[in-house]
Amino acid sequence: MRRRLAPALALFVAALLPAHALAQAEGRPSTAPEGALDAPAPTERSDISPTVRRLLDSEFIDEESARRLRLFHGLWTTEDLQSPGAMATVALRRGLLDHPALQDELTPTLVRAEAKVLRGELPEALALLDGDGSVRAAALRAEALFLAGRLQEAEAETARLLRDTPRRALTDDAGAIAAFARAMTLRLNFFGPGSAEAGVASDFQALMRLLARGRDEVDRLDWTVRLAEAELLFSKRQFSEAADALNEVIRLNPGLARAWYLAGRMRVEGFDFAGATQIAARLDALASEVPGAARRTSVYADLLLARTMLRQGDWRAGLEALRPTLARYPKMREALAVEAALVASSFAFADAEALLSAFDARSPGSPMALYEAGRELAFGRQYEEAADLLERANALLPTWADPVLELGLLEMQSGRDDRARLWLRRAVRMDPFNRRAENSFRVIEELASYNTLESDHFIVRYKPGIDALLAREMIEEAERIHERVAGDGPGGIDHTPPRKTTVELMPDHEWFSVRITGMPAIHTMAAATGPVIAMESPRGGARQSVGFYDWARVLQHEYAHTVTLSRTRNRIPHWFTEAAAVHLEDRPMPPEWIGLLASAYREGRLFDLDKINLGFIRPERPADRSLAYAQGAWMYRFIIDAWGDRAPLELMDQYAKGRSEREAVREVLGVEVHEFMKLFMIRAREDLQSWGVLPQEGQPDAGELLGSFVKESYGGGPDPLRLRILLAEHPDHTGLLRAVAVSRSDGNRLDDQARELWERLATLMPHDPEPRRRLVRHARASGEDEVAIEHLEWLDEREQHSPAYAAELARRYAELEQFGDALAKANRAATIAPFDASTREFAATIALRAGEHRHAERHLVALGEIEPGREIHKRRLEAVRRLIEESSSAPQTERDSG
């Protein structure tokens, strides 16, 4: 009789990591829409490889062979775990490293030794392995020596294995091939030739061929080969191929914790934190099914959660997640390295150095903890401290490419391109199969070909060609932006960064997304890494992500990030730098944010200060990122109104000192964070009521009032007469006003009563665009220019992607012969659509009518670059330049009288 198999454990098979997350982690372009990184993991599946199923179900297999197969493929039953060796093997593969069976002397030596290596009990592991000449023992010995910091001995062990392994062992033994490949991966990554690109390539390619032979020819059902392949590919950041290999591993052994952990690591690298958290839960579930353990939680789950929190900047949660593993396995080198990284990311650098020293005492000469801490500090924009740690790691092991790559990326993000090029060129030579190194070096070489313009506070870099016209306009506008953002006026940051800010104008979204890869926000068209701002050129076409946009507003937003990051030494909370940047755009809150905030308030979904940062980097709902932007800007405005213009700056200075948000709020605002949130919620209700999106006290909800009338339809809607009766009882009820206004509006032209209703709505709901649009359509139909202008101005002030409102305003002002206003709006239209020929031609025409020949010249020069084949642009430009020359040469009295 067949025994019942253990519950199926595969969480997903078809896709271990979303394609866009893979792309981002590898440094390739991503086309993921906003929110795509938050997609849930695929549905849990119960299937394993059909070949394994058929083999287990075969009537020709004996019971002992079936038992061994069930153990190997993770489909064991409780009856299969009677021997200490079987129980220990299952515990090891499920991540229960302190299971009693792993201490039992009846357990095979290699199983006990591997557990000791993972726990960090390295001398004991080496003692167990002494005298064992097998390939697996040699691979474990090399790993133990490396973790112990005995680097020369580890290299010698891999060299001996490379020299002495019998060819036959790598011909017909899949397990030996996998063990050999793991040892050679260690050698290739840490001790490989390094100085000879051909040698490195040869070693990698030979290793991949060996693994392919083990996978395809020796034993198609041996998951150890596929796991070794996945680990090699992961180390080269070839995540797409690594995910394919892991898919096969999990089909062959759905309960293998190391495979799930590696999949979770890729999720973290791709900023798919929800997916990583799901995998951590799966890892704990795997561990919980192992009988006989005192604590049934997985070491891999703890490590994965700690890494997830570390990458999100939540070092407290990361340390909390890691604490059980540190208590159970106090010598585990990976856990100790991650702990050092977490403490370093809290800006407690002295404490981090103490942990690094303790790590060095355990593993003298090991660069692992230095690398982990340095890499995370670089991610947190602590560039100087990160460079110090990474350079120390490089000095300990100069043949390891990863610290070299991270130093190149660090210099690239901090705007020191010459140094970045040196590090990245070295990284590519050391490890030409590392995809991140290859892509990053390609970007830095591309940037070296760009032209530059320079002003007092900015350097604008652009690809030669059409982007030159925008770069010329951008460098001038940037200085105005500096005065506003860095100045000491209302809302200004009152701080000038110590060096010029580099603005890199990338020609399309592909180059932009590769340029800022590694940053969590590539769902947009611009990003600041501190002293560098990368922006996608605002052109139309398939290669652009957003087409036209108000680049001046975006640049002002991104420069606010640069200045706030500089003032706080890059230690500002995520929500606070975003809030300051939105505030300094000097634009009203987007209308769509108002409805979002109202819904969140009514449903109790507004963030508190502990969770708002997660809205940016780990949104649980599709709208959470937009909500975090909106609420952050709202709270920033509240702080200014309640505590004054200097309060945000004083908070920034506290962050610069490494103070936590709780400490900073207590020091500057004089309240605890929970008290701040209570005060803000009072303000929030008042604002929402004043914006007309929340009923006043005692005012019934529109839905309740209208509900009884909807059933009695009149022309498909509520009875207009009854609506007017209700409105007479509740004259300022915005829901009723809208319902009555809609019922009386038929076409663009409004009667007097409908117009009055929409005007009242525009007053009562100052952030709602619909009344304005209705009134604009009426004014157009009625020829009421002044009415149209008022509402068009409102709409244009909130528009970010279309030049239409600005262009229409320019036309109407020109018709009224208000040429100064007309030119300002024509110039704004050209700012939003700088490469659109018709918009430029229109702006040049308005400039000529306004007598502003210099503005006309600027737009005509741009037209000549946009449409170089049209002679009329050249003739017009020549004519305008003659006018400028005549004006310049005219006597002063003549110019004055003109």
Residues 41, 12 contacting (CB under 8 angstroms): yes
User: 629 versus 750: which is more confidently predicted?
Assistant: 629
> How many beta carbons lie within 10 A of that of residue 509, not counting itself?
21
- Element spanning 505, H or E: strand 501-506
Average pLDDT value for residue range 756-767: 87
Residues 95, 299 contacting (CB under 8 angstroms): yes
Tell me the CB-side half-sphere exposure of residue 229, using CA atoms within 13 A: 29
Interstrand relation of 526-528 and 532-536 (parallel, antiparallel or unpaired): antiparallel
Average pLDDT value for residue range 268-279: 90
pLDDT single digits (tens) 593-651: 999 999 999 999 999 998 898 888 778 888 999 999 999 999 999 999 999 999 999 99
Give SS3 for 697. coil
**CA–CA dist 560, 811 (Å, integer):** 33
DSSP string, 601-619: HHTT----TTTHHHHHHS-
- Give 330's contacts (C-beta < 8 A, 6+ positions apart): 120
Residues 795, 805 contacting (CB under 8 angstroms): yes
Which has the closest alpha carbon to 115: 135, 85, 149, 72?
85
What integer pLDDT is reported at residue 177 of this predicted model? 94
> How many beta carbons lie within 10 A of that of residue 508, not counting itself?
17
Residue 8 pLDDT class (50, 70, 90 cuts): very low
pLDDT single digits (tens) 298-352: 999 999 999 999 998 889 999 999 999 999 999 999 999 999 999 999 999 999 9
Task: Please state, rounded to an integer, the average pLDDT across all residues of the chain.
Answer: 87
Give SS3 for 459. strand
Residues 378, 355 contacting (CB under 8 angstroms): no
What integer pLDDT is reported at residue 320 of this predicted model? 96
Q: Is 5 exposed, middle or buried (0-12, 13-18, 19+ CB in 10 A)?
A: middle
What integer pLDDT is reported at residue 525 of this predicted model? 65
Q: How far is CA 169 from CA 181, 220, 440, in A?
A: 12, 17, 39
pLDDT single digits (tens) 835-871: 999 999 999 999 999 999 999 999 999 999 999 989 9
Identity of the amino acid at 589: M
Q: How far is CA 324 from CA 327, 329, 855, 888, in A?
A: 5, 8, 67, 78
Residues 5, 252 contacting (CB under 8 angstroms): no
Positive or negative: CA dihedral 96, 98, 102, 104: negative
Give SS3 for 320. helix
**CA–CA dist 300, 280 (Å, integer):** 7
**CA–CA dist 553, 792 (Å, integer):** 19
Q: How far is CA 462 from CA 334, 459, 518, in A?
A: 43, 10, 22
Q: Which of 23-32, 414-423, 594-603, 800-809 bottoms out in mean pLDDT, i.e. has the lowest?
A: 23-32
- With residues binned 3-state (H G I as helix, E B as strand, rest as coil), the percentages for the chain, rounded to 5, are 65, 5, 30
Which has the closest alpha carbon to 430: 459, 463, 397?
397
- Whether the per-residue pLDDT at 797 is higher than 90: the answer is yes
pTM of the predicted model as reported, rounded to 2 decimal places = 0.82
> How many beta carbons lie within 10 A of that of residue 318, not counting itself?
26
Residue 717 pLDDT class (50, 70, 90 cuts): low
**CA–CA dist 315, 333 (Å, integer):** 19
pLDDT single digits (tens) 173-197: 999 999 999 999 999 999 975 434 4
- Whether the per-residue pLDDT at 496 is higher than 80: the answer is yes
Q: Which of 374-383, 400-409, 518-527, 531-540 bottoms out in mean pLDDT, i.e. has the lowest?
A: 518-527
- The values of phi and psi at residue 700, to 5°, are -70, 155
Residues 588, 672 contacting (CB under 8 angstroms): no
- Whether the per-residue pLDDT at 541 is higher than 80: the answer is no
Residue 793 pLDDT class (50, 70, 90 cuts): very high
What integer pLDDT is reported at residue 524 of this predicted model? 63
pLDDT single digits (tens) 101-158: 999 999 999 999 999 999 999 999 999 999 999 999 999 999 999 999 999 999 999 9
* Inter-axis angle of helices 853-866 and 819-832, nearest 10: 30
**CA–CA dist 258, 281 (Å, integer):** 14
DSSP 189: I
Take residue 71 and report the two structure tokens written for it: 């153990």
**CA–CA dist 26, 266 (Å, integer):** 10
